[in-house]
Chains A and B, each alone.
Chain A
C-alpha cells in the first residue's frame, strides 16, 4: 500500500517481523533511499531504514512507539506518541516511547523531518495530527486482519481494546500473539476509519512526561550528554564585537596546557550575507577533555579588529525616537480610512511610546554539537529543533550527501526558538573537518549570551483618536525596530516589518481609521527570525496602550477590548461561548481570564490587577496578574493564563507548557535585556542576565484551557506576548506608575 506525503512522494507502509518475533511497522520512502540511520535498536531490529511514525509490538504485548518530534520541553515526546497509541487501541501503560532520529519523511531533497519544527508551520498541524493517528490505525488494522484470519471471522465483526482484538463471542487475542501473523500480511490499503473524539481514551487524558523517570534519575541524555569514542572537545573564543574580525592571537600558553591538541582560527560570517555558518570569527581550542579546553581558552590571547563600534542601546533608542518624531516616512504596513483626518476631527488624541530591549534566549542547556564527518559520512548528536536545516548545513560545508547523514535527536534543554538555528552545528563541523576527528563543541554561558540571534529591539509610537463616548475611531502604530529579516536566510525577501508589526494584529481591522508604519533600525546584532508564530513583538505596546486609552477615556479596559472585538460589553464567558470565530475565541479567553484574576472586584489591599490578550494563527491567549509593589520588590500574588489552543492531546503537558511559557515570559519582562558597552554585549553570565527565580515567581498560578475541537496546536506557545503588557497594566493599577520601557523592574524602580 502506498500513500503520498506532503512533498508528493510515494511512501510505502513497511511491515516486518524482527528476529525476536516482534511486529514492526513504519514508512519506507520510495525514492531518495537514505542509508541506514542510527536508529534505536530496540525499536528497529535490523529490518528497516527511513521510517516515519512507527510502532513495534513485542510478542509479550509490550508496545514501543517512536517519538518523531524534537523535544525541547514542549512535550512532544509524550503527546505525539499518544496520537499513535490512541488509534492503535493500547493502554498507555503498555507503551514505551523511544526517540526517533532524523530522516522520517521523504522530501524533494532526500530525507527530511516532518515534526522538527513545532510551531513554525501552523497549516501543517491539522495534517500532522491526522497522519500520526492514521499510523496507529493502520497497525491496528493489520492486527485485526490477522485475528480475523485466525478466527475465520470478518474484519468488521471485530473490535479492539487495551491491546487486544475482541471477537463478538467473547474470545480475545493479545496483540503480541498476533504480531507474527500480522507481519506476514500485505499492508492494508486505505487507513481504517479514525475514531470519533467521543471514543478517545488517551487523547485528552492528563498524561505525565513519558521520560520523567529518566530525567529525575539523571539518565536522560541531552545533546551535551552525548559522548563518542575519540571525540575531542572544542571551545571557541569568539570575537566580542559583532561583525568584528580576528587580528593576531598568541596560543603559546594555551598549547602548553596538558590535553590541548590543536588551536585554530575560524572565519566569521561574510559581511552583509545571510548568517549561514558561525555567527562570529573565533579561535577554537581543541582538547582531549573539557577542562583542558576551558583552561586553554583562558590562556589564549587574542586581538580583535572592528570597524565603528556598535551603537549602544541608548543611541539606538535615540535614533528610533528621532525617526518617530518625523511626522511622515516609514514603510506603510496597513492603512485604512483616513487616520490624519480622524486625528483632526477627534475629540481626543492619546499618544504614548514604548521601548523593548534586545533579548537573549538563554536556554538552560547552552548550544553545542557532537559531530563526526569522516570518510564521506556524517553523524550529528545535538540538541536541535530543525534537523532538516542542520543536514543542509552539513552538506553545504562538507559536500557529504544528505542520505549519508545520520542525526540523533537527544532531548534539548530548552529552545524558545534558539535551536531553530544551526550556527553551532556549522562551527562543530568546521572544527571537526580541520582536526580530522569527531568533535564535541561546548558553548560556555558567556558564549551563549554574547552570541545569539536576539529577539529584536524596538520603539513603538502609538496614537488613538477617541470620539465623544471615548470610543476608538482611529489607531496609528509606528514602530522603529531592528528587522528580523536582516541577514536571516529564513526571512530573505520578506518585508522589513515581518514579525515586528503585524498587519492584522489586534486591533487592526477593528477600527475605522488605521495607519501602521515601520521604520527599520540598523544594528550589527543578529536577530531571531521569529519563525515561531507565538513570538509577537508589538503586543507589549498595543496591549499597554489599550489600557492607557481606556484610562484616559474613563473606560473599563476589558470592556474597551470587547467593544473592539464586536462583543457586547456586558457579555460574560457563558454568553459568548462556546467560541467559534477568531474574535469570539479571543473574547472568550479575555473575559474568562478577567473572571479568574478578579477583574473589577473592588479591593482595599493595594494589589493591582492587570490583563491583556493576544491571538496568533491558532492560539488565543489572555493573561492576568494580581500584584503589589512592596518596597523594592514586586510580589505577584496571582498569575492567570487562559488559553484556547485547539483540541488538547495532553492536558497535563499543555498546562505545564502554558505555565512555563508564562513564567519564562515573566522572566524576560521583569529582567531581560541585552545591552552593549564599547561595542560588546555586556551580559556574559546569569548575574548580569538575570532570570526569574523560585522566590520571585508568582505565589499562585492558574492555567485554564478552553475546551475546543479545533485542530490541536501540538505544542503550546513558548513565548507568550500578552504577559508583558498584562504585567505592566497590573503595575499601573497597583502604583499608578506606567512602565513603558522594558525590562520592567529597573524601569519601575527608576520611576517610583
Chain B
C-alpha cells in the first residue's frame, strides 16, 4: 500500500514540472471505437478502459473482479484480441476498435451466446460475459479448438461452471464451422 502510494507520487512528481508549455495545452481527446461507434475521452489517459465502459458508457456487461489482469471478468476484444479492460489504459486503447459483450451479437445472438443459453452454462453469471469474449477470440483464431486450447483459457469462474462452458464453446464452434461452409 505505502509502496504503491510512493511510486505513484514519484511518477506524477517526475512528470509534472518539466513538461514543456506546449504540451500543457488542452489535451486532444483520445478517440476510439467501441462496438462500432466513435467515442472520445478527455480525462485521465491512465484510466483503464474498464471504467470508461462502465462509469461513462454504462456498458456494465464488462465486469470488474480483480483489477490485476488475472480473472478475465473484464475481457473485451481490442482489434480482435482478447484483452483485460481493467489493465488497458485509455491512452493504449486510443485508436483501437473495442468490442464488448454488448456489441458481440448486436441484432442476432452470436453463436457463443446462443450456445451458452442452450448449454445452460450460467451459474451466478458474473464471469460469463468475460468467458464468452475470451471464447470469441479463441474461435476467431482457432475455429476448431483442441481440448488443450480450451483448457488454456485463463478466465476464472468461482461458481465452477467450467464443464458447461467447455460444452458451450464446442457447440458454438460446430455451429460456426457449419455456417462458414
A216 lies within 8 A of B161 (CB):
no
A498 within 8 A of B: no
A656 lies within 8 A of B1 (CB):
no
Q: Which residues of B contact A701 (CB under 8 A)?
A: 163
Chosen A-B contacts, 18 in total, with CB atoms closer than 8 Å, are A209-B122, A212-B122, A216-B112, A217-B101, A217-B102, A225-B54, A289-B56, A290-B51, A291-B44, A299-B5, A364-B63, A364-B159, A366-B65, A413-B124, A657-B123, A666-B160, A687-B68, A694-B162
Q: Footprint of B on A, CB under 8 Å?
A: 72-73, 208-209, 211-213, 215-222, 224-225, 227, 233, 237, 240, 253, 258, 289-291, 294-295, 298-302, 362-366, 411-416, 442, 444-445, 652-653, 656-657, 659-664, 666-667, 685-687, 691-695, 697-698, 701
Closest residue to A692 on the B side, CB-wise?
B160
Q: Which residues of B contact A300 (CB under 8 A)?
A: 5
Q: Footprint of A on B, CB under 8 Å?
A: 1-2, 4-5, 8-9, 43-44, 47-48, 51, 54-56, 58-68, 70-71, 73, 100-102, 104-105, 109, 112-113, 116-118, 120, 122-129, 132, 150-166
B122 lies within 8 A of A691 (CB):
no
Q: Which residues of B contact A657 (CB under 8 A)?
A: 123
Closest residue to B120 on the A side, CB-wise?
A208
**For the complex, what is the distance from the CA of A212 to the CA of B117, rounded to whole Å?**
6
**For the complex, what is the distance from the CA of A16 to the CA of B48, rounded to whole Å?**
50
For the complex formed, measure the closest distance between the CB of A714 and the CB atoms of chain B, giving whole angstroms.
16
Closest residue to A687 on the B side, CB-wise?
B70
The contact of A298 among B8, B55, B60, B62, by CB within 8 Å, is B8
For the complex formed, measure the closest distance between the CB of A382 and the CB atoms of chain B, giving whole angstroms.
14
Q: Which residues of A contact B129 (CB under 8 A)?
A: 215-216, 218
**For the complex, what is the distance from the CA of A73 to the CA of B159, rounded to whole Å?**
8
A298 lies within 8 A of B160 (CB):
no
Q: A258-B44, A413-B124, A656-B161 are in contact. Are A445 and B65 (CB under 8 A)?
A: yes
Q: A215-B128, A216-B116 are in contact. Are A444 and B122 (CB under 8 A)?
A: no
For the complex formed, measure the closest distance between the CB of A158 and the CB atoms of chain B, giving whole angstroms.
36
Q: A208-B117, A218-B61, A291-B55 are in contact. Are A656 and B2 (CB under 8 A)?
A: no
Closest residue to B100 on the A side, CB-wise?
A218
Closest residue to A208 on the B side, CB-wise?
B120
**For the complex, what is the distance from the CA of A211 to the CA of B128, rounded to whole Å?**
13
The contact of B125 among A208, A301, A302, A413, by CB within 8 Å, is A413
B158 lies within 8 A of A363 (CB):
yes
Q: Which residues of A contact B71 (CB under 8 A)?
A: 364, 445, 686, 691
B125 lies within 8 A of A289 (CB):
no
Closest residue to A443 on the B side, CB-wise?
B64
The contact of A291 among B51, B101, B161, by CB within 8 Å, is B51
Q: A445-B68, A659-B160 are in contact. Are A289 and B51 (CB under 8 A)?
A: yes
A364 lies within 8 A of B156 (CB):
yes
Q: A291-B47, A298-B4, A664-B160 are in contact. Are A217 and B122 (CB under 8 A)?
A: no
**For the complex, what is the distance from the CA of A281 to the CA of B71, rounded to whole Å?**
28
Q: A222-B126, A659-B164, A687-B68 are in contact. Are A364 and B120 (CB under 8 A)?
A: no
A364 lies within 8 A of B126 (CB):
yes
For the complex formed, measure the closest distance between the CB of B14 and the CB atoms of chain A, giving whole angstroms.
14
**For the complex, what is the distance from the CA of A442 to the CA of B59, rounded to whole Å?**
17
B105 lies within 8 A of A224 (CB):
no
Closest residue to B2 on the A side, CB-wise?
A301
Q: Which residues of B contact A233 (CB under 8 A)?
A: 55
The contact of A362 among B101, B116, B153, B158, by CB within 8 Å, is B158
**For the complex, what is the distance from the CA of A104 to the CA of B2, rounded to whole Å?**
47
Closest residue to B161 on the A side, CB-wise?
A660
The contact of A365 among B47, B65, B117, B156, by CB within 8 Å, is B65
B151 lies within 8 A of A364 (CB):
no
A212 lies within 8 A of B102 (CB):
no
Q: Which residues of A contact B4 (CB under 8 A)?
A: 298
The contact of B156 among A302, A660, A686, by CB within 8 Å, is A686
Q: 4 other contacts beyond A216-B101, A291-B48, A412-B124, with CB at 8 A cut-off?
A: A217-B109, A221-B60, A660-B123, A661-B160
